[in-house]
Amino acid sequence: MKKFLILFILLLPIVHAIGLSIPNQREIFFAPDQHISIKYSIGNTDPSPLNARVLISAGPLDPFLEAKDKLVEVPAFGMQSFTLAFTFPSELKSGLYPVSIEVSEEVAGGGMAGLTGINDVINVISPFEQGHPYAKLDLNQYQKPGRAIVFAIDVQNIGNTYLDKIGAQITLSLNGEVLKRKMLSKDIPALMPFEKTRIMDSIDTEGLEQGVYTLETSFSDQKLVKEIALGQPTITVQNVPPLKAAAVNDFTATISLDNWKTPIENANVRFHVNQLLDAPQKLTLNPGPNEIHINIATSIGKTGTYKGSVEVIGKMVRALGAFTVPVEGSKGGGNSGFKSTLKELEGDEEAPELQLAAPPAKNKTFIIVLLIASFAIFSFALGQYLARRRVNNAPPPINIQPPIKPQ
């Protein structure tokens, strides 16, 4: 029996739902020159057909895939299948090779619907002769300073023999310098061939300054590395001279990256003055003061004090700094030009995201009505879909060569 994942997507005024069948076989064992064929099915509970884009990624096995990109047309209230197919090479180095299947709804114009997307992963294992660990590190990459970083380590024995219990050292580094070091609180237990286990642990961040840290551990020949943003930087803006509206302004301002110990390389920096100018740049910001040069023609505007902001988006970092600047208005100048939709980013536990402005109050009733209508349509669609599932015979099971048992 297959498992079935359903992703519900709300697109006013119609509700879309796509599903992806998930085969019970989660692992395939390598056999030289063997042909592998796995059938998936995409379900559609929408009253209109949809196009689903299937992307398959197999790492070192990519050259042996029959197709890595497929477009599947799925009828209204129906299902359509596709096949993951490849032929193993004659030799494959011992190890675990994830094969990723991603299904997304394709919208008009070739783009993808922003809320769609279902992923599945099947692992190909080429066993080691002796017991051998394969590990994955799982944790939230955005952490609060001063709190312990909680993480999980998933380990599988991908060897043909018993694997004795193993320990591991965990390190936390900043700019290449190890600042925290500890052993796992308990050893990973002994594992039979292809057995799995999960170990939970934590490492403290007491006394560490804010920045991007590296959490690292090793198992046999495998190194696990994750970058962690500990806190968020503070952005301050200084030395912005008085500006002129409807004129070319050429000046250098100072952006200070405070409470942060690591450089932000190739950051997208947006220097913005409400109603007057918007100047995006790509810079590398170092902790402390950084200069930014602006040469830009401003919009027509009135004399007064204007609000401005500098938004910084870099690897694992989003921060916003505010300032005010006096502006000499232009003749007959009204307010036209650039408007900001940025909000201050404070207190986010996870990676901060820019928010869209809230809809005007007069539109709220309309949106509520659309939501109710969408739910009604979805309920009808789901009822039709389930009715069809009861009538039609279930699809035949997927036949896959069983795993090679260890000798």
Instruction: Label residues 11-42 b or e (16+ Cβ within 10 Å = b).
Output: eeebbbbbbbbbbeeeebbbeeeeebebbbbb
Residue 368 confidence (pLDDT) above 70: no
**Range of 48-57, 114-123, 285-294 with top mean pLDDT:** 285-294
Residue 5 confidence (pLDDT): 46
Residue 161 confidence (pLDDT) above 70: yes
What's the burial of 392, exposed, middle or buried (CB within 10 Å: 0-12/13-18/19+)? exposed
Three-class SS of residue 145? coil
Of 19, 117, 24, 47, the closest CA to residue 399 belongs to: 24
Report, as an integer, the average pLDDT of 274-295. 96
Residue 333 confidence (pLDDT): 54
Of 380, 385, 366, the closest CA to residue 13 belongs to: 366
Quick check: 36 and 85 in contact, CB under 8 A?
yes
Calpha distance 104→124 (Å, rounded): 23
Handedness of CA 348, 353, 354, 356 (dihedral sign): negative
What's the burial of 391, exposed, middle or buried (CB within 10 Å: 0-12/13-18/19+)? exposed
> Architecture of domain 234-328 in CATH?
Sandwich (2.60)
Within the chain, all domains assigned CATH 2.60.40.2550 are found at 3-126
Quick check: 67 and 84 in contact, CB under 8 A?
no
Predicted TM-score (pTM) of this structure = 0.70
Quick check: 41 and 80 in contact, CB under 8 A?
yes
Of 58, 85, 82, the closest CA to residue 70 belongs to: 82
Of 337, 323, 315, the closest CA to residue 268 belongs to: 315
Quick check: 318 and 309 in contact, CB under 8 A?
no
Provide DSSP, 71-99.
EEEE-TT-EEEEEEEEE--S---SEEEEE
Please give the backbone phi and psi of residue 54, each rounded to the nearest 5 degrees, phi first: -110, 120
In CATH, which of 2.60.40.2550, 3.40.50.2300, 3.40.50.720, 3.40.50.1700 is domain 3-126?
A: 2.60.40.2550
Residue 205 confidence (pLDDT): 95
Report, as an integer, the average pLDDT of 394-398. 41
Provide DSSP, 277-339.
EEEEEEEEEPSEEEEEEEEEEPPP--SEEEEEEEEEEETTEEEEEEEEEEEEPPTT----S--
- Which of 355 and 365 is assigned the larger pLDDT? 365
In CATH, which of 2.60.40.10, 1.10.1200.10, 3.40.50.720, 3.40.47.10 is domain 133-230?
A: 2.60.40.10
Confidence band, pLDDT 50/70/90 cuts, at residue 381 = low
Within the chain, all domains assigned CATH 2.60.40.10 are found at 133-230, 234-328
Quick check: 87 and 130 in contact, CB under 8 A?
no
Residue 109 confidence (pLDDT) above 80: no
Question: Which tens digits make up the pLDDT trace of 210-261?
Answer: 999 999 999 988 999 999 999 999 999 999 999 999 999 999 999 999 999 9
Residue 262 confidence (pLDDT): 94
Residue 23 confidence (pLDDT): 84
- Which of 352 and 158 is assigned the larger pLDDT? 158
- Which of 165 and 400 is assigned the larger pLDDT? 165
Of 57, 70, 54, the closest CA to residue 18 belongs to: 54
Confidence band, pLDDT 50/70/90 cuts, at residue 21 = confident
Quick check: 167 and 184 in contact, CB under 8 A?
yes
